Amino acid sequence: MLISHDRQDFEQTVRAYSADLYRYAYWLCRDRHLSEDIVQESFARAWKAWSELRDLAQAKAWLMTIVRNECMRSFSRNHADVETSEVTEADLPALPSVESGVETAQLVAMLPATYREPLLLQVLGGFSCAEIAAMLGTSEGAVMTRLTRARQALRQQWTDAGKRKAVK
């Protein structure tokens, strides 16, 4: 059963989630202007399909999925390589030496997309494994595995960075 949503509901939703959606888009594509375009296009798509949203409580997850899909469309339009294969910890790049706050952002950015996306959805979006699995079109088990591997990779990168700093 579809619920009737009006323009005011949509505008409130845009105000409530636009910052979260922008942060997520930025983490996915690492470009401020492209992130703004992706969020704008996502809201345009959301407005067109607004009447199809069954539960306003699920609006944030629905919008995050639209942003993710828009980002992937943007990558495919720009013919960028999107890494979709599983990557082992040994394949992760080395950490550049930078300050702590920036260092964390760079560590996360260096994670393969298959690890970074679920981690960001959980940390920035506050979504459960089940919600993330639905957004990414995968199983909860796969999401939990990717979250574990992302944390392991970050932990290893922090350890490696600490060793490099101690040598200096």
- pLDDT tens digit string along 81-99? 444 444 455 544 444 433 5
- pLDDT tens digit string along 16-30? 999 999 988 888 888
Nearby residues of 129 by Cβ (< 8 Å), 6 or more positions away: 122, 140, 143, 144, 147
For residues 104-132, average pLDDT: 85
pTM of the model: 0.55
Model confidence at 63: pLDDT above 60:
yes
d(CA 46, CA 117): 21
d(CA 80, CA 96): 23
pLDDT given at position 92: 46
Nearby residues of 92 by Cβ (< 8 Å), 6 or more positions away: 110, 111, 112, 153, 156, 157
- pLDDT tens digit string along 110-119? 888 889 889 8
Domains of the chain from N-terminus onward: 7-77 (1.10.1740.10), 89-167 (1.10.10.10)
